């Protein structure tokens, strides 16, 4: 019987295509049904009928396959981003192995067989890149992924394949677009500004780069967008504006501009014949270096620091040690001399310096404090054993010269420090005081000191005894003057 459009048929699903669509046969004719699982018995509605095949829409699962599972995504049936959300993982791996075997034997005519497919350690939150098309639906901007074989955007919300930083960044961008009445690109007319939202995350560093693709060259409200993204995505290190004014399905255009981030130094080096040493594990810096044609870059691995003895405090200094080794190797310095130089360096300038006093163990880092270094120092301090000390105290000074970012950055550090309720927090400076005064609930075990002098006076009145103490702040706060009281 020749199948016709709008026929209702019953199918036994026996296989999957490379795209994840199910295959059943009706009177010998293959019928492709998206959403079926091998072993299912289903009813399907024919939406396309050809002489040698047909395409159908799944209507009802009459008898579920033993390999069928409940989808963990509310939009997987509509979204074209996933094909196997209703197939158990073991069956998915078996199917993928079968595809490779078929490619070798049926297509390549090679007598080879795959020994097995290695299971991924994570089946959710594993992707480090996502590109979200933006569309106007019901008068509001939405972002997500295209429906299967279409250019209709399915709003995905918090997609389980992506890290939560991406969904937070998308939500911040859409709210910003509404608040600033940013027009949305229309593929049919070629009009409208906002085209795509593009995020990447470095798995080793946790750093996130956001790229906003527009149909133009200027972005109204760009500063507000950067502030919104910075507040929503803790690991954000850069926001790039990409200009794509072509009538094309290609996502990225040829022109980029850094709205906020670490690109200024690389631009200077590229323009002045400089050389950059870039850790391969830092995906953001690696990509930014690769995008600059005039930049001479030396790429190295952080693993260069492995096995080198040192006296630097904090795991984050592993990056600094690896950079030192990379520079030494570039200038043909013998490896033993490099190891000796790193190992013999004893910090004595209040930078990453461990000091034992008569009363306390101090980690002193008073030289500078930008948000990244402050966050790394606090995390390392909270994770490090107190070494027999009965108290754990954080003495943090303001991070200076942050401009519009200051309030949010100081608020983030207070929240980070407050993760350990047993840690005592002593905050020095007007920025920390302003943030803490307006926080609800108020952080526990926290004392505020508008100036260094008031901190010193308190330390003299109530000396800190038998404590593990981190002292960190911008150089302008001068916390090194309080060290003799500890």
* pLDDT, tens digit, 9 for 90 and up, residues 406-461: 787 888 888 888 888 889 999 998 888 888 877 777 777 899 998 899 999 999 99
Measured between alpha carbons, how far apart are the two ends of the chain, in Å? 91
For the chain, percent of residues with pLDDT exceeding 90: 47
pLDDT at 394 over 90: yes
CA 474 centroid distance within chain? 27
Handedness of CA 105, 110, 116, 120 (dihedral sign): negative
pLDDT for 240-267, tens place per residue?
Answer: 999 998 888 889 887 888 788 767 778 8
Q: What is the pLDDT of residues 76-129, one digit of tens each?
A: 888 888 888 899 999 999 888 988 888 888 888 898 878 888 999 888 999 999
List CB contacts of 160: < 8 A, sequence separation 6 or more: 72, 73, 124, 125
CA distance 257 to 249: 21
Average pLDDT for 15-43: 90
- CB neighbour list of residue 395: distance below 8 Å, 6 or more residues apart: 426, 428, 455, 469, 470, 471, 472, 473, 479, 482
For the chain, state the CA radius of gyration: 29
SS3 content of the chain, % helix, strand, coil (to 5): 30, 30, 40
Close Cβ partners of 194 (under 8 Å, ≥ 6 residues apart): 134, 141, 177, 182, 183, 184, 185, 212, 213, 214, 215
Tokens of 182: 């940013």
> What is the rounded CA–CA span in Å between residue 145 and residue 93?
24
Give the full edge-to-edge strand order of the sheet including 140-146.
Answer: 153-155, 140-146, 129-137, 194-201, 208-214, 236-243, 255-261
pLDDT at 404: 62
Tell me the per-residue pLDDT of 177-218, one tens digit each, with 9 for 90 and over: 999 999 999 999 999 999 999 999 988 888 899 999 999 988
pLDDT tops 80 at residue 403: no
């Amino acid at each position: 019987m020749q199948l016709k459009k709008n026929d209702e048929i019953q199918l036994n699903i026996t296989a999957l295509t490379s795209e994840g669509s199910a295959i059943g046969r009706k009177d010998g004719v293959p019928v492709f049904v998206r959403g079926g699982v091998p072993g299912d018995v289903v009813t399907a509605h024919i939406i396309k009928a050809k002489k040698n095949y047909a395409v159908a829409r799944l209507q009802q699962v009459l008898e579920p396959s033993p390999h069928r599972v409940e989808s963990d995504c509310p939009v997987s049936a509509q979204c074209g981003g996933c094909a196997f959300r209703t197939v158990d993982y073991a069956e998915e791996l078996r199917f993928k192995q079968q595809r490779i075997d078929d490619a070798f034997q049926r297509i390549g005519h090679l007598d080879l067989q795959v020994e097995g497919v290695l299971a991924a350690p994570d089946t959710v939150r594993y992707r480090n890149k996502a590109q979200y098309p933006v569309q106007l639906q019901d008068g509001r901007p939405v972002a997500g992924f295209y429906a299967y074989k279409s250019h209709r955007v399915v709003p995905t919300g918090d997609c389980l394949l992506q890290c939560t930083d991406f969904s937070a960044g998308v939500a911040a961008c859409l709210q910003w677009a509404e608040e600033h009445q940013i027009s949305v690109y229309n593929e049919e007319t070629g009009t409208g500004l906002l085209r795509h939202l593009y995020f990447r995350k470095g798995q080793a560093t946790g750093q996130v780069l956001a790229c906003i693709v527009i149909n133009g060259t200027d972005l109204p409200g760009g500063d507000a967008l950067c502030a919104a993204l910075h507040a929503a995505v803790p690991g954000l290190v850069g926001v790039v504006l990409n200009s794509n004014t072509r009538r094309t399905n290609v996502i990225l255009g040829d022109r980029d501009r850094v709205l906020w981030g670490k690109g200024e130094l690389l631009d200077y080096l590229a323009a002045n014949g400089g050389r950059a040493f870039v850790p391969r594990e830092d995906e953001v810096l690696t990509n930014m270096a690769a995008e600059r044609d005039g930049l001479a870059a030396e790429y190295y691995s952080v693993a260069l620091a492995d096995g080198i003895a040192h006296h630097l405090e904090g795991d984050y200094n592993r990056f600094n040690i690896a950079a030192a080794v990379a520079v030494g190797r570039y200038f043909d310095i013998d490896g033993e001399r490099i190891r000796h130089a790193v190992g013999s360096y004893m910090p004595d300038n209040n930078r990453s310096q461990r000091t034992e006093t008569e009363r306390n163990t101090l980690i002193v880092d008073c030289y500078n404090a930008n948000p990244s270094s402050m966050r790394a120092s606090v995390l390392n301090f909270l994770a490090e054993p107190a070494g027999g000390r009965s108290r754990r105290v954080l003495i943090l000074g303001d991070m200076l010269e942050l401009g519009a970012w200051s309030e949010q950055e100081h608020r983030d550090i207070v929240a980070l420090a407050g993760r350990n309720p047993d840690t005592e927090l002593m905050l020095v400076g007007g920025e920390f005081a302003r943030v803490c005064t307006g926080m609800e609930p108020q952080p526990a075990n926290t004392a505020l000191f508008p100036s260094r002098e008031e901190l010193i006076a308190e330390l003299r009145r109530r000396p800190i005894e038998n404590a593990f103490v981190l002292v960190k702040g911008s150089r302008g706060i001068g916390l090194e003057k309080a060290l003799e009281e500890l």
